[in-house]
Amino acid sequence: MASRYLEPRLERSSRAEMTRLQTRRLRAEVQHAYARSPFYRRKLKAASITPAAIRTLDDLRRLPFTTKDELKDNQAATPPWGDVLAVPFADVLRVHLTSATTGRPLAFLDTREDWYGFYHSYARSLYAYGVRKSDMVMAAFSYGPWIGYWSGFYAAQDLGCLVFPVGGLTTDARIDALLTYPITVLGCTPSYALFLAETAAKKGIDLATQTRVRITWHTGEPGASIPATKAKIEAAFGAKAFDLPGLTEIAAWGFECDARAGLTHVHEDYCYPEVLDEQGRPVGPGGRGELVLTSLYRKAMPLIRYRTRDLVQLADRRCPCGRTLRALEGGVLARLDDMKKIRGVVVYPRRVEELVRPHAGVDEFQIVFRRREGLDDILIRIDPSPSLSLAERDGLGVRLAEDLRTGLGIRTTVEMAEPGSLPRWDHKAKRVKDERTEVPF
Ligand SMILES: [Zn+2]
């Protein structure tokens, strides 16, 4: 039987062996950052730490955090790259931009070796889903400076797959390609997977029976780790869907495996994970906290203790796949920056999606945080399936309101929009509006 691991020695290494490898790489990375990156030299000096003080993985906790805001401020102060850069400019091979919601996006540079590390670890994830050399792959991400398209493309090519380049194609042209060529694997955001399926259905095309897609993978948003969203994508494509959490600044750091046990493994030989509680203390197995990652492979922009703002839960069980790589329960549980407080209750948009998606009659939805008569309120706007009768729409609204009230612990307003009236998303979805922060003028 063919191996289920691309790199069994690393994916199944003993804890002692992994710790040795991580320690060696961490020391080299800190040494390199201190010697070559003005940004990190300043930070470490301000914290009165020299690289010699970092001898074990536990010593990592003595180092200061790095935040995205800090990197953005640094690039704004010293445009265009900031002074994190720790290699000569001539050694840089790739530039990617993060997707910014506010301000200028962060520009991220990689050397040839850095870039290889990014896509090779990604390839290991694809292999864990079951993607093989004989597959034909479509990476349906936007063509541009974002890393999603390039990393997916290069990762599939790294496995020897034939990759069909569709970055610049329209949705119609992509559907046509899926019907015409023997494409067996599709990568895209979860929102786009649903949009693709809906667009095909409008043309009378059933992607589940009329294409050869057997595996889909999803990144850019947490949707594929939300069971109801994943089930919807799997039904639309007649394929197995997998989640691939990642960050331009760190790596495509995690992956679900073919055991499909609800766990997300971390490529911990590429990026060292810490899961920290609100006081910055490491949580134990089963504990929840913010994921903080330290790059163990990148040399152009070596990030140390980078705060991902992702809320995760450390697994306290072994994955049946046999990998020993650290695992998280259920992927990214929430984006800490997305947290909203409504009448004293904490609400995450992901939780709303978990409650809305199981209802088959919902094609799209929108979450609006607003203030009504001085009180905070959540409006959930639903774009119902056009196949529903008016009476069925009303029934759906009542069931949704009840599920949301029970699931969130707070009353919400559910509004039925006209079928097809809410925006659809071909990249990362923007389903959340917070009108409370939008000042009227
Ligand atoms: Zn596994």
233 C-alpha to ligand 1 centroid (Å):
21
Identity of the amino acid at 207: L
Ligand 1 centre distance from Cα of residue 20 (Å): 22
Alpha helix segments (H runs only) across 51-167: 68-77, 112-129, 147-158
| CATH label of the domain that carries residue 424 | 3.30.300.30
264 CA from centroid of ligand 1 (Å)? 7
Torsion, Cα of 399, 402, 407, 410 (10° steps):
140
In this structure, are 309 and 427 located in the same domain? no
Map residue 64 onto helix, strand or coil. coil
Percentage, residues of the chain above pLDDT 70? 98
57 with 66: CB under 8 angstroms?
A: no
Q: Evaluate whether 33 touches 40 at the Cβ level (below 8 Å).
A: yes
With respect to residue 439, please indicate whether it lies within any of the assigned structural domains.
no
CA of 281 from ligand 1 middle (Å) equals: 27
Choose the weakest-confidence range: 80-84, 98-102, 268-272, 346-350: 98-102
Residue 439 pLDDT grade (very low, low, confident, very high; cuts 50, 70, 90): very low
Examine the domain organization and report whether 325 and 362 are in the same domain: no
Could you give the angle at the alpha carbon of 354 between the alpha carbons of 348 and 356, nearest 5°? 105
Residue 142: pLDDT band (50, 70, 90) is confident
Q: What is the mean pLDDT of residues 309-314?
A: 96
Higher pLDDT, 33 or 433: 33
Distance, CA 120 to ligand 1 centroid (Å)? 18
The CA–CA distances, whole Å, from 78 to 81, 82, 140 equal 7, 5, 34
Compute the distance between CA of residue 379 and CA of residue 366 in angstroms, rounded to an integer.
8
What separation in Å is there between the alpha carbon of 406 and the centre of ligand 1?
Answer: 32
Q: How far is the CA of 328 from the centre of ligand 1 (A)?
A: 10
390 CA distance to ligand 1 centroid (A)?
A: 45
Residue 219 Cα, ligand 1 centroid: separation in angstroms?
Answer: 18
Name the band, by pLDDT with cuts 50, 70 and 90, for residue 437: low
User: What was the pLDDT predicted at 376?
Assistant: 86
- Give the residue among 341, 350, 345 at the shortest CA–CA distance from 369: 341
Q: Positive or negative, the Cα torsion across 74, 75, 76, 80?
A: positive
95 touches 107 (CB < 8 A) = yes
Asked if residue 197 belongs to a domain, the reply is yes
In a domain, 441, yes or no: no
Task: For residues 316 and 412, state if they share a domain.
Answer: no
Ligand 1 centroid – CA 331 distance (Å)? 12
Last residue within a domain, chosen from 319, 337, 355: 337
Cα-atom radius of gyration of the chain, to the nearest Å?
22
* pLDDT for res 2: 62
Handedness of CA 220, 37, 274, 68 (dihedral sign): negative
Q: pTM value? A: 0.90
Q: How far is CA 333 from CA 21, 71, 252, 328, 347, in A?
A: 29, 25, 17, 10, 12
317 and 373: one domain?
no
Our count of domains for the chain comes to 2
Would you say 77 and 318 are in contact if contact means Cβ atoms under 8 Å apart? Answer: no
Does residue 440 lie within any of the structural domains?
no
C-alpha distances out from residue 208 to 104, 172, 214, Å:
40, 17, 9
Look over the chain and give the mean of its residue pLDDT values, rounded to a whole number: 94
Q: How far is the CA of 316 from the centre of ligand 1 (A)?
A: 13
Helix axes 15-36 and 38-46, enclosed angle (nearest 10): 100
254 C-alpha to center of ligand 1: Å? 11
Q: How far is the centre of ligand 1, averaged over its atoms, from the C-alpha of 251 (Å)?
A: 19
State in Å: Cα 131 to ligand 1 middle.
15
pLDDT over 80 at 211, yes or no: yes
Min mean pLDDT across 96-100, 105-109, 373-377 is at: 373-377
The answer to whether 18 touches 268, Cβ cutoff 8 Å, is yes
Query: 370 and 307, same structural domain?
Result: no
Distance of CA 430 to the CA centre of its chain: 15
In this structure, what CATH number is given to the domain that contains residue 231? 3.40.50.12780
Cβ atoms of residues 228 and 354 within 8 Å: yes
CA contacts within 13 A on the Cβ side of 225: 26
How far away, in angstroms, is 261 Cα from ligand 1 center? 7
Both 134 and 243 in a single domain?
yes
**Structural domain span for residue 416:** 339-434
Among 167, 140, 131, which residue's Cα sits nearest to residue 258?
Answer: 131
Answer yes or no: do 284 and 413 share one domain: no
CA 438 – CA 94 distance, rounded (Å): 37
pLDDT of amino acid 430: 87
- Ligand 1 center from residue 256 Cα (angstroms): 7
Residue 325 predicted with pLDDT over 90: yes
379-409 pLDDT per residue, tens:
999 999 999 999 999 999 999 999 999 999 8
Name which of 158, 338, 357 is nearest 241 in CA terms: 357
Mean pLDDT for the stretch of residues 98-126: 92
Rounded to the nearest whole angstrom, what is the distance from the C-alpha of residue 128 to the centroid of ligand 1? 8
Q: Mean of the pLDDT values across residues 145-158?
A: 96
Residues 269 and 347 in one domain: no
**218-240 average pLDDT score:** 92
- Residue 440: is its pLDDT beyond 60? no
CA of 255 from ligand 1 middle (Å) equals 9
DSSP secondary structure, 3-35, as one string: -S-SSHHHHT--HHHHHHHHHHHHHHHHHHHHH
For residue 56, CA distances in Å to 21, 34, 234, 266, 390 come to 11, 17, 43, 20, 64
Full strand arrangement of the beta sheet holding 306-313: 271-276, 288-295, 306-313, 334-335
* Alpha-carbon span 144 to 277, nearest angstrom: 36
Report CA(259)–ligand 1 centroid distance (Å).
6
Ligand 1 geometric centre to CA of 287 (Å): 19
Question: How much distance in Å is there from the Cα of 246 to the middle of ligand 1?
Answer: 17
Residue 101 has a pLDDT of 63
pLDDT digits (tens, 9 = 90+) for 35-82: 999 999 999 999 999 999 999 999 999 999 999 999 999 999 999 999
Distances (CA, A) of 102 to 69, 74, 148, 263, 308: 11, 16, 19, 32, 17
Residue 355 CA to ligand 1 center (angstroms) comes to 26
Ligand 1 centroid to Cα of residue 29, in Å, is: 28
Residues 103 and 130 in one domain: yes
* Mean local confidence (pLDDT), 109-120: 98
Does the structure show a pLDDT above 70 at 425? yes
Separation of 117 CA from ligand 1 center, angstroms?
21
Distance in Å, CA 267 to ligand 1 centroid: 12
Q: How confident is the model at residue 102 (pLDDT cuts 50, 70, 90)?
A: low
Indicate whether 108 and 125 sit together in one domain. Answer: yes
What is the per-residue pLDDT across 242-283, written as a single tens digit (0 to 9) for each? 999 999 999 999 999 999 999 999 999 999 999 999 999 999
